[in-house]
Amino acid sequence: MEKCILGIDPGFAILGFGAIKCTQNQNRLQDTPVHMLDYGAIVTPADAEMGIRLCTLFDDLHTLIGDIKPDLVAIEKLFFYRMGNTILVAQARGVIMLVLAQHKVPYVEFTPAQIKQALTGYGNAEKIEVQEAVARELNLDQIPKPDDAADGLAVALTAWYQI
């Protein structure tokens, strides 16, 4: 059974996403194909006020979910960098959760360490190692850019490994 998984790397300034199509194989007795459908980033205008930036995320996420029609969304759990940044990302995550609820799309969450472990076998892997694993797993000639989009694909792949 084919499944579309949308991976989201939450952010306030840049929200990375990556969508994959995979074949669900309950027995895992054979390799199951996975294909990249799309990837990119939703960028909010730095000079706009917070409300406008959250509206941009809301509107663009609605469009993205409507276009991709994912069966499952995988989201990177909030990781604490700086308190100011964490609050902004938490607000963006609220918008993400609202849009998913409105579309009635189920979601799963993974910590950064879980994503690194799933893709590299090592929970403290460097960012470049994760990006190289994404390119390798999806048979891409180069690492997807921006980094936030590669992170979105990494989250989607982590969900695929779990189903």
| Percent of the chain at pLDDT exceeding 90 | 81
Catalytic status, residue 67: no
CA 105 to chain centre: 14
Quote the tokens at residue 97: 């959760």
**49 CB-near residues (< 8 Å, 6+ apart):** none
Task: Give dist(CA 134, CA 151) in Å, integer.
Answer: 9
- Phi (first) and psi of residue 8, to 5 degrees: -125, 130
pLDDT, tens digit (0-9, with 9 covering 90-100), for 44-64 = 999 999 999 999 999 999 999
- Report the chain's mean pLDDT, rounded to a whole number: 91
For 54-134, list the strands marked E by DSSP.
72-76, 107-110
Task: Give dist(CA 55, CA 150) in Å, integer.
Answer: 24
Catalytic status, residue 76: yes
pLDDT, tens digit (0-9, with 9 covering 90-100), for 88-143 = 888 999 999 999 999 999 999 999 999 999 999 999 999 999 999 999 999 999 99
- Domain positions in the chain are 2-162
Nearest residue to 116 via CA among 127, 107, 103: 127
pTM above 0.85, yes or no: yes
Taking each helix axis from N to C end, the angle separating 127-137 and 147-162, rounded to the nearest 10 degrees, works out to 60
Catalytic status, residue 141: no
- Among 76, 109, 126, 137, the active-site one is 76
For tokens 């409507």, what's the residue? 66
Superfamily in which the 2-162 domain is placed by CATH? Ribonuclease H-like superfamily/Ribonuclease H (3.30.420.10)
- Among 9, 31, 137, 151, the active-site one is 9
- Map residue 138 onto helix, strand or coil: coil
pLDDT at 133 (0 to 100): 96
Alpha carbon distance, N-terminus to C-terminus of the chain: 12
